[in-house]
Amino acid sequence: MPENCIYIARSSAIAARALAGEMMVMNSADSTFFTLNEVATAIFQAADGHTALRDIVRDQVCEQFDVDPEQAQADAEQFVAELSSHGILLVSSQPLSSEAP
């Protein structure tokens, strides 16, 4: 397994709803609210805890959107870091059990 392989899962402490191609996400701990664009939504929905981020980027992002793979991976890592800092996504170097509601 590559050193930088990370796994992501949606926190159970959130509410999420899809609307007009965007995902609305609210953290129940502090009521912070986020809207995710289509690419971010694809990553968020694939965050099952046992699919590696690089596989999500390859299968969900690069397959569906016209993006450079390296740039997509870098953007995805930045997006994951931001959402994990707000408790929306859980991140681990090991597979996680999904907490998705």
Partner 1 sequence: MAAAQKVVCVEIGGIPIALSTCDARFLDLLRQRYDGFLSSSRPEFELQFDLTRTGPASDDDVRVRRDGDEWLIERGDFHARWDPRTGRGSVRQNANPYSLDSVLRILHSLILAQRGGFLLHAASAICDGRAYLFSGVSGAGKTTMTRLAPADITLLTDEISYLRPSADGYAAFGTPFAGELARAGENCTAPVSALFFLEQGPENRVDELSSAEAVRRLMRNILFFAEDQGLVEKLLATACDFVARVPIRRLTFYPDARVWDQVRKFARDFQEVPQHA
Q: Does 20 bind partner 1 (CB under 8 A)?
A: yes
- Binding-site size for partner 1 (CB under 8 A) equals 20
Residue 18 Cα to chain centre, angstroms: 14
d(CA 39, CA 19): 14
Q: Which residue from 13, 15, 65, 73 is spatially nearest to 42, judged by alpha carbons?
A: 65
Nearer to partner 1, 4 or 35 (CB): 35
Nearer to partner 1, 6 or 16 (CB): 16
Task: Check if the beta carbon of residue 89 is closer than 8 Å to that of residue 4.
Answer: no
**In this structure, which amino acid lies at residue 38?**
E
Q: Does 71 bind partner 1 (CB under 8 A)?
A: no
* x-marked contacts with partner 1 along 28-67 as a string, rule CB under 8 A: xxxx-x-x--------------------------------
Q: Is 16 helix (H, G, I), strand (E, B) or coil?
A: strand
Task: Check if the beta carbon of residue 18 is closer than 8 Å to that of residue 92.
Answer: no
Q: Does 15 bind partner 1 (CB under 8 A)?
A: yes
Nearer to partner 1, 16 or 72 (CB): 16
Q: List contacts with partner 1 (CB under 8 A).
A: 12-17, 19-22, 24, 26-31, 33, 35, 101
